[in-house]
Amino acid sequence: MNSRFSHLLSGLAGGALALVLAVVLAGAGVIDIGGSGGATDAQDPVTRAPSNKSGGRTVAEIYNEVAPGVVYVEARGVAAASPFGLPGEEGGAASGSGFVLDDEGRVLTNAHVVDGADGVTVRFEEREIVDAKIIGVDLSSDLAVLQVDPEDVNDLQPLDLGDSESLEVGDPAIAVGNPFGFDRTVTTGIISAVQRQIRAPNGFSIDNVIQTDAAINPGNSGGPLLDGEGRVIGINSQIATGGSNGSVGIGFAVPINTAKIVVPELENDGEFERSFLGVTTAPVTPQIADDLNLPRDSGALVQDVVEDGPADEAGIRAGRTETTTGLVAGGDLIVGIDGQDVVTPDDVAAAIADLPPGETVEIEFYRGGELQSAEIELGKRPRTAASALEPPRDGGEQPPPGILPFP
């Protein structure tokens, strides 16, 4: 059966995911809302002029329209995904939110809510509780697709999907979900920033994330973030807590345009394959270039190379000398991929984002002041970032701030 997602892919090639491991900021206090801990990267958001769009509809109108399509998701047989102990949660259970995608019974939620569950139930507005099957999970985007039998539900009401690429700072934002187990709670706010980066459940990162001040809390995971017309623009995933156990006005949602790319493959194959280069890199500033005697003051400085990974097999070298800044000096400096300039580590990820595993790319890099090149056959990204490094860096700790591993 074809989901309506398959009709929404045109024009999205340029928005394909460029996922790298998020930088861990000590004490940042960013968590999955109903899921495991995560952290935001210091990625600069895009700055745009504040928007005056109001949407023209009342929140009450939007809520009454979308509420029947927002569901409560409970996953059994897994350790509770939330560190808060949501109402009704006991050991071996996790709960969150979700919303109906289509008339065929597909429901979208967060991967961290249902991944590894032995069983999942979905509760609809009319208190209908039905079993759901997990048909696909993508930890790298924190998205999961569930399937319920349409015959088991009185009236499936899919939500309309918007365009997260068109969002502007200041646009209205409406969150609907089940915070702390309170069914179909609605909160409002604005789009605070776009193109943020958060840490995915598997240790890689999610790019182009939406930041909002609409109050979202544990239990909102997987619920929709709506625009002023009631269209889904994001999937609520994480909040910054500032050390507290609830919202402080900084929430993060996976953009719906990311879901438009990922969901069709989850429906068809149960997973979303991404290419894998197998290096960790750090940005280069003029100060770093001067301190390390680098030939350029931009590029992606290789820190680690995954043993037997694509870059390792092509001869790319990791750094060998620890510095007081946390960087490792002596690694190759990547400055180009397939003719595209590499100015920052983000450019490495962007260069391979649209390429499938097995594709060959040409890497240009400096080694000891000499410009060299190598051809690399991209591999398939492992399930988790931690599994790529054996043993894990520094005994399992994440890289220092500024280091973006594993495109």
pLDDT beyond 70 at 243: no
Q: Are residues 295 and 397 in the same domain?
A: yes
Q: Are residues 52 and 170 in the same domain?
A: yes
- Is 316:332 a contact under the CB 8 Å cutoff? yes
Q: What pLDDT, on the 0 to 100 scale, is given for residue 333?
A: 98
Strands 93-100 and 129-138 turn out to be: unpaired
Sign (positive or negative) of CA dihedral 348, 350, 353, 358: negative
Q: Are residues 52 and 192 in the same domain?
A: yes
pLDDT grade for 23, boundaries at 50, 70 and 90 = very low
CB burial of residue 403 (10 Å; 0-12, 13-18, 19+) = buried
Q: What is the pLDDT of residues 189-208, one digit of tens each?
A: 999 999 888 889 988 888 88
CB burial of residue 173 (10 Å; 0-12, 13-18, 19+) = buried
Longest dimension (CA), the chain: 68
* Whole-number average pLDDT of the chain: 82
Last-in-domain residue among 97, 118, 152: 152
pLDDT beyond 80 at 22: no
Instruction: Give the CATH number for residue 101.
Output: 2.40.10.10
pLDDT grade for 384, boundaries at 50, 70 and 90 = confident
pLDDT grade for 314, boundaries at 50, 70 and 90 = very high
User: Whats the size of the chain, residue-wise?
Assistant: 407
Q: What pLDDT, on the 0 to 100 scale, is given for residue 32?
A: 56
Q: Give me the percent of the chain exceeding a pLDDT of 70.
A: 76
pLDDT beyond 60 at 228: yes
Q: For residue 232, what are the domain limits?
A: 4-59+162-267
Out of 221-235, 283-297, 377-391, give the one with best mean pLDDT.
221-235
Which residues face 8 on adjacent strands?
none
Q: What is the pTM of this model?
A: 0.76
Count the Cβ atoms, other than its own, within 10 Å of residue 138. 26
- Is 193:211 a contact under the CB 8 Å cutoff? yes
CA atoms of 207 and 344, how far apart (whole Å): 15
Q: What pLDDT, on the 0 to 100 scale, is given for residue 129?
A: 96
pLDDT grade for 29, boundaries at 50, 70 and 90 = very low
φ/ψ of 238, rounded to 5, equals -145, 160
Q: What is the pLDDT of residues 254-310, one digit of tens each?
A: 999 999 999 999 999 999 999 999 999 999 999 999 999 999 999 999 999 999 999
Structurally, how many domains does the chain consist of?
A: 3
CB burial of residue 390 (10 Å; 0-12, 13-18, 19+) = exposed
Q: What is the pLDDT of residues 61-115, one digit of tens each?
A: 999 999 999 999 999 986 544 433 343 444 567 899 999 999 999 999 999 999 9
Question: Does residue 23 sit within a domain?
Answer: yes
Which amino acid does the sequence have at 292?
Answer: L
Q: What b/e string do you get for 316-348 counting C-beta neighbours within 10 Å, with b at 16 or more?
A: bbbbeeeeeeebbbbbbbbbbbeeeebbbbbbb
Question: Does residue 157 sit within a domain?
Answer: no
**Element at 60 (helix H, strand E):** helix 59-66
Last-in-domain residue among 267, 299, 316: 267
Torsion (CA) 366, 370, 376, 380 in degrees, nearest 10: -20
Q: Are residues 25 and 83 in the same domain?
A: no
Last-in-domain residue among 124, 152, 180: 152
Q: Are residues 398 and 320 in the same domain?
A: yes
Question: Does residue 347 sit within a domain?
Answer: yes
Instruction: Please give the residue that has the higher pLDDT: either 366 or 397.
Output: 366
Q: What pLDDT, on the 0 to 100 scale, is given for residue 50?
A: 47
CA atoms of 9 and 370, how far apart (whole Å): 42
Q: Are residues 245 and 96 in the same domain?
A: no
Nearest to 264 by CA among 126, 397, 371, 141: 141
pLDDT grade for 56, boundaries at 50, 70 and 90 = confident
- Is 140:203 a contact under the CB 8 Å cutoff? no
Reading the block at residue 171, the tokens are 């646009």
Question: CB-hemisphere CA count at 13 Å for 2?
Answer: 5
Return the active site residues.
Answer: 112, 142, 221
